[in-house]
Amino acid sequence: MAKPIIQIKELYKDYQNVAGIFPVLKNVSLTINHGDYVAIMGPSGSGKSTFMNILGCLDRPTKGSYILDSHDVSTLNNNELAKLRNKTIGFVFQGFNLLARSSLVDNVALPLVYAKDQKELRVKISKNILERMGLGQYFDSKPNQISGGQQQRTAIARALVNQPKIILADEPTGNLDSKTTHEIMKIFDELNQIGNTIILITHENDIADHAKRQIHFLDGKILEDHMTEKNKVTV
């Protein structure tokens, strides 16, 4: 049956500054299985991004346990976390976060550099994925020479290049128009169909409806966690 890939118990995160301590995640517990397609929703400031950054090992929780693909993340050192980010997780940001001065191929190949793959192999794999994303003509372009949708597809290509088990996307379509949004969501749908676990943050119901499961955050806690109603799925 369904095997858990993410198990979170009593996850707590606060930010401290001179004005005091601000809890952002208040003892969140959650399990996500292999092959899940999860949309995280909730108002601005409810802690969605903070939560996803911890899932992506970009940040550490203040307290609580997080088991990712049978690794207890709290016991791992920075190098081991880097390896998880490299191999197990593909992260897609709202603002793309591409290296502005590198070509698309170099951007996409970067995770392979840190995985220590040979140069020829890196280039071959990266070109292959860029082709699949419909960016075959733009190998040597710089990010500022292509559209936002193309940049996000490049970022997705980069997230996929090491064949991660989980794809995390923080408002991946937040900066895109509705047509491009639709194209990007189609990519996520296909990725999920071939077995990838996908977790994405969104504000919009029709995007969330692409997912199989929807989790609503409010004020640092999970308010609701339910399956998407089938009849609402848009084509």
Ligand X SMILES: Nc1ncnc2c1ncn2[C@@H]1O[C@H](COP(=O)(O)OP(=O)(O)O)[C@@H](O)[C@H]1O
Residues that bind other proteins (CB under 8 A): 53, 56-60, 78-79, 82-83, 85-87, 91, 93, 97-99, 101-102, 110-111, 113-116, 119, 158, 162
| Residues comprising the chain, all counted | 235
CB proximity list for 56: less than 8 A, separation 6 or greater: 85, 89, 91, 168
Q: Which of Mg ion, ligand X, other proteins, none does residue 83 bind (CB under 5 to 8 Å by kind)?
A: other proteins
15 binds ligand X per the rule CB under 6 A: yes
CA atoms lying within 13 Å on the CB side of residue 95 = 4
Q: Which of Mg ion, ligand X, other proteins, none does residue 164 bind (CB under 5 to 8 Å by kind)?
A: none
The site map against ligand X for 17-56 (x = CB under 6 A) is -------x-----------------x-xxxxxxx------
CB proximity list for 63: less than 8 A, separation 6 or greater: 10, 11, 12
Largest CA distance in the chain: 53
Terminal Cα-to-Cα distance of the chain (whole angstroms) = 28
User: Minimum distance from CB of 46 to ligand X (Å)?
Assistant: 4
Q: Where are the alpha helices (DSSP H) in 41-97?
A: 48-55, 78-87
The site map against Mg ion for 18-57 (x = CB under 5 A) is -------------------------------x--------
Q: Which residues bind ligand X (CB under 6 A)?
A: 15, 24, 42, 44-50
